[in-house]
Amino acid sequence: METIQGKSILNKIAIGRILYHRKSESQVVRRGVSDVREEIGRYEEALRKAEAELEVLYEKACQEVGKVNAAVFEVHKMMLTDEDYRDSVYNIITSQRVNAEYAVAVTADNFRRLFSEMEDEYFKARAVDVKDVSDRLLTLLSGNSLSGHVLSEPVILAAYDLAPSETVQLEKDMLLGFVTEQGSLNSHTAILARTMNIPALVSVPVKEEWDGKTAVIDGETGTLYIDPDEDFLRKMGKKKEDEENRERLLMELKDEEDVTLDGTRIRLYGNIGSVSDVADVLKYNAAGIGLFRSEFLYLGKETYPTEEEQFLAYRHVAEMMAGKEVIIRTLDIGADKTAGYFDLGKEENPAMGFRAIRICLERPEVFKTQLRAIYRASAFGKISVMFPMITSLWEVKRIKEIVENVKKELASRSVPFGQVALGIMIETPAAAVISRDLAREVDFFSIGTNDLTQYVLAIDRQNDKLDMFYDSHHPAVLKLIEYVAKCGHEAGCMVGICGELGADITLTEEFLRMGIDELSVSPAFLLPVRQKIRMTDLGNPSSLSTSGLL
């Protein structure tokens, strides 16, 4: 048996077979070949598969978002079969006697440049399509399509890295757990694993030879075991059973209220990344959804989700929650959550770059499409909306103007919508420091402790080498949370926490003493936090030191 120590994302056990997912090669290597005919054959095979994929995507998109919006896949198909593109690939393979990947990458570069230098805006925009089509071919040539894996049995996925867009597309029912070499404990991939309630380890040097072997993830110790013997499997099976028994016991709290021993009530909400996560929020009976990370509707796609597509998703969630509050966060694209069609360009410091509300304010049409979908869905449940990465008062004022325009537009078309509370995320030091002013503009605050920690401590949350420095309990972070709660309350603004710290039961009492009104956590943490709340007595003097800024 091989034993590998990693870092655990969720304290749970998984037992199953490994499916190895090869590292995606972002860098295409130029390789000399002796048989050019074989290389052309490989290219033609990839071409056929790409055409078939696009056909399926087109049909699916026609049904889900209509013919007009599905047309992008037809454009991609036309590009694939474009004679000039094909001739260029053939020429490079035969004249330079090189591999198909290299020929596709060079052709893609040339065509992209050609399109992007054109005057006509329509043709300029086609540069993105060239990239999409070429990436599809390159993925197929490397035999590396994760979505191409049809999982016939539940597996533990082992990969060099998983992007949030890949993670969100994984079939939850078929995924027992995953292990990756890259990725920090605070990355969105890690957060998604927690939200999806999936045992996962990072910092594991994964090996292709594990493919098909039996493995055990022990989330309690952060250990991966490959090829365990029968005895060990039995032992871990027993540990898993104990874990399930503990979960069953916690389930007795499912219908209990979120109230402390002295009678203080708190709103315990769940975080979701996709519509399918609502099932767990309902299973553990959360009082609402405090963070719907809507950007996941935008990831792993060829193009922007339409208003209709978004409306249906938001409406579905609102209806499933049957009158309980659903707080939708507008898209927080950027940094590690990227989608090619946004064409954001490369940035040196993406976490501090063109992301989240900054994109929405620069591209009001994208923003308004999402707001229209949210407001339309608000006629079907209790929807609130909040905005990520706020740093300044003017941003909030500008957002409110845009929201008013959207409401006017819907009203003029007699489209029904409900009363939508407006909130902002407090996740930058700037927003925390000016929270007194911001509180006068909105109905609620939701503190994003993941980013707040990153920006207060100047620690890149994506960098796994810095995990030991990423200390959300740092007094600077806790003092800011206390300060935000005070400023929010002075202006009659509700204050919640939706970052991962909200689920840290060693801090629950401290948060309650600060007067935090709402804790929104990954569904797997709902019952442990409920248990902690119900055991807390705020009537007694605290044994904990409060952060004492004020």
Q: Which of 157, 155, 148, 146 is nearest to 202 (CA)?
A: 157
Give 127 or 327: the residue with its C-beta nearer to ligand PEP: 327
Which residue in the block uniquely carries the two structure tokens 């292709």?
Answer: 208
- Interacting positions 374-433 with Mg ion (CB under 5 A): 427
The verdict on whether 489 is a catalytic residue reads no
376 binds, among Mg ion, ligand PEP, none (CB under 5 to 8 A by kind): none
Catalytic residue among 360, 487, 493, 498: 498
- For the CB of residue 389, give the shortest distance to ligand PEP in the complex, in Å: 8
The answer to whether the beta carbons of residues 72 and 303 sit under 8 Å apart is yes
* Residues 421-460 as x/- pattern, contact with ligand PEP by CB under 6 A: ------x--------------------xxxx---------
Q: According to CB under 6 A, which one of 332, 464, 482, 509 is a site residue for ligand PEP?
A: 332
3-state secondary structure of 67: helix
* Residues 156-195 as x/- pattern, contact with ligand PEP by CB under 6 A: -----------------------------------x----
3-state secondary structure of 488: helix
**Rounded distance, CA 205 to CA 50, Å?**
32
280 binds, among ligand PEP, Mg ion, none (CB under 5 to 8 A by kind): none
- Interacting positions 434-453 with Mg ion (CB under 5 A): 448, 451
Torsions phi, psi of 458, nearest 5?
55, 50
327 binds, among Mg ion, ligand PEP, none (CB under 5 to 8 A by kind): none
Give 8 or 189: the residue with its C-beta nearer to ligand PEP: 189
499 binds, among Mg ion, ligand PEP, none (CB under 5 to 8 A by kind): ligand PEP
The answer to whether the beta carbons of residues 513 and 546 sit under 8 Å apart is yes
The verdict on whether 498 is a catalytic residue reads yes
Q: Which of 398, 495, 479, 387 is nearest to 433 (CA)?
A: 479
Residue 305 sits in the site that holds ligand PEP (CB under 6 A):
no
Alpha helices in 81-144 (DSSP H): 83-96, 100-116, 121-141
Q: Which of 6, 16, 534, 522 is nearest to 284 (CA)?
A: 522
The answer to whether the beta carbons of residues 130 and 88 sit under 8 Å apart is no
Give 302 or 427: the residue with its C-beta nearer to Mg ion: 427
The answer to whether the beta carbons of residues 222 and 201 sit under 8 Å apart is yes
* Residues 278-297 as x/- pattern, contact with ligand PEP by CB under 6 A: -------------x-x----
Q: Which of 70, 493, 50, 512 is nearest to 261 (CA)?
A: 512
498 binds, among ligand PEP, Mg ion, none (CB under 5 to 8 A by kind): ligand PEP
Torsions phi, psi of 258, nearest 5?
-95, 80
Please enumerate in sequence order all residues whose Cβ is within 8 A of that of 480, keeping only pairs 6 or more positions apart, or say none.
Answer: 429, 432, 433, 452, 456, 549
Catalytic residue among 188, 360, 487, 493: 188
Which residue in the block uniquely carries the two structure tokens 């021993």?
Answer: 261
Catalytic residues: 188, 498
**Interface with Mg ion by CB under 5 A: which residues?**
427, 448, 451
**Interface with ligand PEP by CB under 6 A: which residues?**
191, 291, 293, 332, 427, 448-451, 498-499
